[in-house]
Amino acid sequence: MSAVRGAKPTAPRLRTFENPEALARGVAQWLLGAVQARGGTCAVCLSGGSTPRRLYEVLTVPPVVTRFPWDDVHWFWGDERFVAPDHPDSNFRMVDEALLSVAPVPRENIHPIPTEDLSLADAAAAYEKVLKDFYGEDRLDPERPLFDVTLLGLGEDGHTASLFPGSPALADTERWVRGVEPPGLEPRITLTYPALDSSRIVAFLVAGARKREVLARALAGDPELPAARVHPVGDIVWFADRAAAPS
Ligand code: 6PG
């Protein structure tokens, strides 16, 4: 169950779907299977951005909504924009509108990244405490991943979560959560590699022709790309639509 950082992973698993709708429906079925396979308390780390929104919506309608073990699943975020939870750029707001306010999700199972009444650094520290309290230890054990499923996206520059090229957060091997201030973007809070790598399975969702070149590089393990440096203790699967998938 372990992959050495920087080691060339085996050929990545890529599953391609005809279009974004088929991608959302295919991944919804896959996610249902993954959480059912846990057969009990399960932690899912959510991706922000625009690509996963349709997936979140598909989880709230039949056939998935009636078969999904909502009481067992706890929801976390891989990153957040440092804005209010009702701000249009909020990843919490996106997931709440698409999924959490629609499906029968116990409120106590929802663990958003705090963004109010705290400094960026204090908010990151507060979320690290949320993760450690849920995990029950201060040190990550490779044999007991923090997350069962981690959903991640891929930016055109190769970023994932809010781990951007050139960011000092890329080298952080201690903290689980950090505040980052990407040039030209609002400040953000992101999980670091140690936390993201503590996953039974990482699933990347990638859609659209503008992602084709960067997806090909990520699948080839280009170390320039932060997304290509995610090496979970478990597995990785890439889900893409035909427009993004390498021909
Ligand atoms: C965010 C995400 C980020 C996202 C990529 C891809 O908060 O924006 O976590 O990593 O996944 O930027 O975004 P799109 O899906 O919108 O292309």
pLDDT 10s digits, 125-147: 999 999 999 999 999 999 999 99
Yes or no: say if 180 and 193 are a contact pair by the CB < 8 Å rule. no
- Judged against a pLDDT cut of 90, whether residue 9 lies above it is answered with no
pTM for the full model? 0.96
pLDDT of residue 1 exceeding 80: no
Ligand 1 atom with least separation from CA of 78: 9
Please identify, by atom number, the ligand 1 atom nearest to the C-alpha of residue 211: 17
Q: What span, in angstroms and rounded, lies between the C-alpha atoms of 65 and 144? A: 28
Mean of pLDDT over the chain: 95
Strands (E), 113-228: 147-152, 177-180, 188-191, 199-206
* 41 pLDDT higher than 90: yes
Whole-number pLDDT of residue 12: 76
Distance CA 191, CA 209 (A): 27
User: pLDDT band at 247, cuts 50/70/90?
Assistant: confident
pLDDT in tens, 173-213: 999 999 999 999 999 999 999 999 999 999 999 999 999 99
Q: In this model, does residue 5 exceed pLDDT 60? A: no
Residue 241 has pLDDT above 80, yes or no: yes
Determine the pLDDT at residue 10: 58
**Ligand 1 close to Cβ of residue 50 (< 6 A):** yes
* Closest ligand 1 atom to Cα of 160: 10
Is the shortest distance between the CB of 155 and ligand 1 below 6 Å? yes
Ligand 1 pocket mutation, candidates 23, 50, 87, criterion most atoms within 8 A of CB = 50
DSSP strand pairing (235-241 vs 13-17): parallel
Tell me, using a 6 A CB cutoff, whether residue 192 lines ligand 1.
Answer: no
| CA 197/CA 191 separation, integer angstroms | 10
In the reported structure, the alpha carbon of residue 89 is separated from the centroid of ligand 1 by a whole-number distance in angstroms of 11
What does the pLDDT read at residue 2?
A: 45
